[in-house]
């Protein structure tokens, strides 16, 4: 599908500088783009490629001052990076809008309710009394369990499994291989040293505008719900345990694990490979550095922590600065001890 510069400018509120009829059919990085591809320039470090690129159209900032002529048609916008992201999103939506209907082989239970313009890919299973909203895209190999609800405009990528009774909101994206609603890790120790499984009869609720990366797992609650609030973004390979609640617009990077019944506030930022123990309260706006181990509740809003066990980020930086100076401090201490010995010898005469 090709589109010209004039139409692109309309989509992103930009101004064309050059040939309004220049057309592109795909995207490329500014240093690699070829003819009939669109690129963008947001980072000044890449400006040199603007003068050599083969791209037909380049999105640039309004403030860019050209140092030499360019062959590409430019579209000037307030923020090139954001405009490029918006354009990619619109392009993706146009491509996905073309997906409709039910591919075979697949199974859709007679009691399931399907909205308008739904796409169900081959080898997909939709269970008893499931409800699939309008414009939902279920890619091949998706499993939708009994009584699952999926909101409008949600995209579920290949191989995702959503267990019994879980609720997925609108405008949610779940990437390949993720499992929603598997049993929480609940086992009661017995007197003989064995463990008895505690039935996990709750569900998972994922609110609107959430994105979940590949191969993540979100466990169903023992009772009640494991909840991912509106606007939260989870990276790949994340484990969310039973009865966890994650607040609105929180972002969590890859390989992080959150143990059972922990509550994380809104607008928090959690780095990769963070481990959070169970039954904690993490207040709004927390910032947890990568590879931190959180063993205690974070009770003040907008607190930054690092380390294992995690503690105040500013204090950690001071400790690191001190540790770097330890060899020099050891040398100074040895010199002071030597000086003290000399003064004592002079005072007592030996």
**Which residues are catalytically annotated?**
242
Q: Pick left, alpha or beta for residue 123 (phi over 0 → left; psi -120 to 50 → alpha; otherwise beta).
A: left
* Residues 228, 281: Cα–Cα separation, whole Å: 15
* Residues 320, 311: Cα–Cα separation, whole Å: 13
**Taking a C-beta distance cutoff of 8 angstroms, is the pair 85, 101 a contact?**
no
* Residues 155, 174: Cα–Cα separation, whole Å: 6
* Residue 335 Cα distances to 304, 321, 329, 332, 340, angstroms: 38, 22, 10, 5, 9
**Taking a C-beta distance cutoff of 8 angstroms, is the pair 58, 40 a contact?**
yes
Enter the tokens of residue 269. 């930022």
* Residues 41, 59: Cα–Cα separation, whole Å: 6
Tracing tokens 């009774």 back to the chain, one arrives at: 165
* Residue 159 Cα distances to 98, 123, 217, angstroms: 21, 10, 13
Enter the tokens of residue 273. 């490979």
């Amino acid at each position: 599908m090709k589109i010209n510069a004039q139409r692109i400018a309309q989509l992103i509120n930009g101004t064309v500088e050059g040939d309004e009829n220049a057309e592109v059919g795909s995207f490329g990085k500014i240093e690699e783009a070829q003819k009939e591809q669109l690129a963008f320039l947001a980072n000044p470090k890449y400006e040199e490629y603007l003068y050599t690129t083969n791209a037909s159209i380049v999105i640039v900032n309004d403030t860019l001052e050209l140092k030499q002529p360019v062959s590409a048609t430019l579209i000037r916008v307030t923020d090139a990076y954001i405009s490029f992201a918006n354009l990619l999103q619109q392009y993706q939506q146009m491509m996905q809008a073309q997906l409709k209907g039910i591919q075979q082989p697949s199974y859709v239970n007679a009691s399931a309710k399907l909205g308008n313009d739904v796409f169900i890919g081959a080898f997909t299973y939709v269970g008893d009394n499931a409800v699939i909203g309008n414009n939902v895209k279920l890619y091949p190999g998706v499993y939708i369990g009994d009584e699952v609800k999926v909101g409008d405009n949600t995209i579920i990528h290949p191989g995702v499994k959503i267990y019994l009774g879980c609720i997925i909101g609108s405008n949610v994206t779940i990437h390949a291989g993720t499992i929603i609603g598997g049993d929480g890790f609940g086992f009661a120790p017995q007197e003989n040293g064995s463990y008895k499984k505690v039935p996990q009869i709750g569900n998972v609720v994922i609110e609107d505008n959430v994105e979940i990366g590949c191969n993540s797992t979100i466990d169903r609650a023992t009772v009640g719900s494991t909840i991912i609030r509106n606007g939260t973004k989870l990276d790949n390979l994340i484990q969310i345990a039973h009865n966890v609640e994650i607040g609105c617009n929180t972002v969590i990077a890859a390989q992080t694990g959150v143990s059972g019944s922990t509550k994380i506030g809104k607008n928090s930022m959690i780095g990769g490979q963070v481990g959070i123990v169970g039954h904690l309260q993490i207040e709004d706006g927390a910032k947890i550095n990568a590879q931190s181990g959180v063993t205690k509740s974070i009770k003040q809003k907008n607190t930054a922590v690092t380390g294992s066990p995690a503690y105040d980020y500013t204090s950690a930086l001071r400790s690191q600065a001190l540790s770097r100076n330890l060899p020099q401090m050891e040398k100074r201490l040895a010199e002071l001890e030597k000086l003290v010995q000399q003064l004592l010898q002079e005072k007592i005469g030996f």
